Amino acid sequence: MSDKQTLSFQAEVKQILHLVTHSLYSNKEIFLRELVSNASDACDKLRFEALNRPELYGDAPNLEIRVFFDPAARTLTVRDNGIGMSAEEAVQHLGTIAKSGTREFLARLEGDQKKDANLIGQFGVGFYSGFIVADRITVESRRAGLKPEEGVRWTSDGSGEFDVEPITREQRGTDVILHLREGEEEFAKTWRLKSIIAKYSDHISLPILMRKEKWDEEKKEYVLSDEWETVNKAAALWTRSKSEITDAQYQEFYKQISYDSEPPLAYTHNRVEGRTEYTQLLYVPSKAPFDLWNRDKRAGVKLYVKRVFIMDDAQALLPVYLRFVKGVIDSADLPLNVSRELLQESRDVKAIREGCTKRVLSMLEDVAENQKDKYAAFWKEFGAVLKEGVGEDHANQERLARLLRFASTHADEGVSFADYVSRMKEGQEAIYYLTADSLAAAKSSPQLEIFRKKGIEVLLLVDRVDEWMLAHLYEFDGKPLQSVARGAVDLGKLQDEEEKKHAEQAAEAVKPLLERLKTTLKDRAKDVRVTTRLVESPACIVVDEGDMSTHLARLLKQAGQQAPKALPILEINPEHALVKRLESDERFDDLAHILFDQAWLAEGGQLDDPAAYVRRVNRLLVA
């Protein structure tokens, strides 16, 4: 090419540029990430080609990226000394958006949002993001290996045409010069550019240089000096070998990415190779954030692709129940949509999510096995959230079940299913549990009386998520989970024949009383029956085998949801003095309702008509 040429974009280009600059990026600063990423790619390409042609380095073997601005001219330049472009490559690469693929690109962009994995590189959209803040872009470049007079200048205002002309350029590589729009002067300030580079490009392996500022005593302001400084760390911690990194460095990096002043509870650092290659550095915090229970909360995993920051809330890379995990995932080939801001669901994403989930669970299993005090601290902070995974992650349900910890009638905290099974009585076939609003309410529940008498351990579940979790978890290690407040009490082999026979005789003896109670309480109780679960209390409330627990019904009501209407069952203890008194007392109706109300209160319920309860008790007190 010997003279300046003006080439036309296709008719669709205005529409494409409008989409690129207004629809594909949620914030303006993304353009700098894209340009720095392109500059890094150009250096990588030179490094690759120079393996066979080392002379391409010339007298500049050190690869670098420079970012500088001219406030007076209102320009921002991103310079690299990478592979550079010839005139033909400038037309080809920078004009890709105007090639025959334009219609395909536009169709994908306006289609069903399932963006192609390589649209940025394939169509040059990353470069064109510069038009977010610039009304004109000039690119000056010379390919490594070409003569200085074989440089090229490419210019466009994005309105439908671009100019290409030859220039003499001494250094190889590329300058991308943005002519900033009115109102975009913030991108010609040192502090603003440094903050963007620190956020998005801090871990690019090449040094990113900017001019230092110095104080001008005469002007009483900071001015740019001729001295350059590296503004990125230029060494991604996670890319280094684990043997080179100290625990202190891991902890310092955690504080940088999490803004947490507390050290992490645990971390794991691995490089995964295979069909999907990525590096993971994942941390479990020691303290729960204030918004832990917000399931729409952004995840704490930062996503990088080839050490270039993409996003800091990569929700697709870990399940929701692990939303407390912080860290970095760096993929070599992860599919992204055209803006790099939203992950595209794919086999690669699924593989990374599954791999990271298993790694986090392995980390927690190791802590639970070898650092029990530390795991107890973790459980207090995050245990209730981990329970969500039992219903959401069927593939890992068994592993999650082994990580669960509960209170029980034997201990106030830290009881695992494995602990419980190891302490089961000879002949015990089920894992017994009770759900309640609080540990105090659970401990004082009359449903526990027969279990205490026989020394049978019962798990006490008091988290709001427990009822939901139990709808998905039916057994552990072949042992069914059985509520002590649902259905008739069945201790199986733990109840001897003498006890069963005595219970049957007692039920027969009070049959007339049961029928009378059923009539009096017909609007409040589905059934009234004799039970063997009570030792000290006169009565208790249970629900039928297929009905919703009263605890879950209360939770739904508190959440403003309607629970299915189902009457409970009243179980009575025929040996209790109050029950014996019922048979001959003339105030039978009052005593029957008081018996039911007290059982309901002991179970944790609220009375629909507390005033009626008070009137009945008062009548008894003054009689």
Dump pLDDT digits (tens) for 182-194. 999 999 999 999 9
Report the distance separating Cα 301 and Cα 281, nearest Å: 9
pLDDT at site 174: 97
Higher pLDDT, 388 or 552: 388
pLDDT at site 586: 81
pLDDT at site 198: 86
pLDDT per position as a tens digit, 434-488: 998 889 988 988 888 888 988 899 999 999 889 889 989 999 999 999 988 876 6
Radius of gyration (C-alpha) of the chain in whole angstroms:
35
pLDDT at 24 over 60: no
For 591, the token pair is: 């005593």
pLDDT at 109 over 60: no
345 falls in which pLDDT band (50, 70, 90)?
Answer: low
What is the H or E stretch that residue 308 is in? strand 308-311
pLDDT (mean) for 116-131: 56
Residues in the chain: 623
Please identify, in words, the CATH class of the domain defined by 5-230.
alpha beta
Report the distance separating Cα 345 and Cα 10, nearest Å: 31
pLDDT per position as a tens digit, 216-249: 888 788 888 899 999 988 777 898 889 988 898 8
Q: Where are the domains of the chain?
A: 5-230, 237-378, 389-493, 495-622
- DSSP secondary structure string, 393-451? -GGGHHHHHHH--BEESS-SS-B-HHHHHHTPPTT--SEEEEE-SSHHHHHT-GGGHHH
| Chain centroid to CA 589 | 55
* Architecture, CATH, for domain 389-493: 3-Layer(aba) Sandwich (3.40)
Report the distance separating Cα 208 and Cα 33, nearest Å: 12
Place of tokens 């690129």: 20
For residue 187, the SS3 value is helix
Task: Supply φ then ψ for residue 299, to 5 degrees.
Answer: -70, 165
Is residue 544 within 8 Å of residue 613, measured between CB atoms?
no
For 614, the token pair is: 């008070």
Place of tokens 């995974």: 389
Residue type at 38? N
pLDDT at site 188: 93
pLDDT per position as a tens digit, 557-586: 766 777 677 788 898 888 888 888 887 778
pLDDT at 167 over 90: yes
Supply the mean pLDDT for the chain: 84
Report the distance separating Cα 541 and Cα 370, nearest Å: 42
- Beta-sheet pairing, 65-70 with 161-167: unpaired
Place of tokens 């024949």: 497
Is residue 410 within 8 Å of residue 421, measured between CB atoms?
no
- The DSSP bridge partners found for residue 161 are 8
CATH code of 237-378, in short, is 3.30.230.80
Sequence-distant (6+) residues with CB within 8 A of 618 are none
Sequence-distant (6+) residues with CB within 8 A of 286 are 262, 263, 264, 265, 377, 378, 381
Residue type at 520? T
Higher pLDDT, 179 or 508: 179
Is residue 436 within 8 Å of residue 463, measured between CB atoms?
no
Report the distance separating Cα 440 and Cα 445, nearest Å: 9
pLDDT (mean) for 7-29: 65
CATH code of 495-622, in short, is 1.20.120.790
Is residue 304 within 8 Å of residue 329, measured between CB atoms?
yes
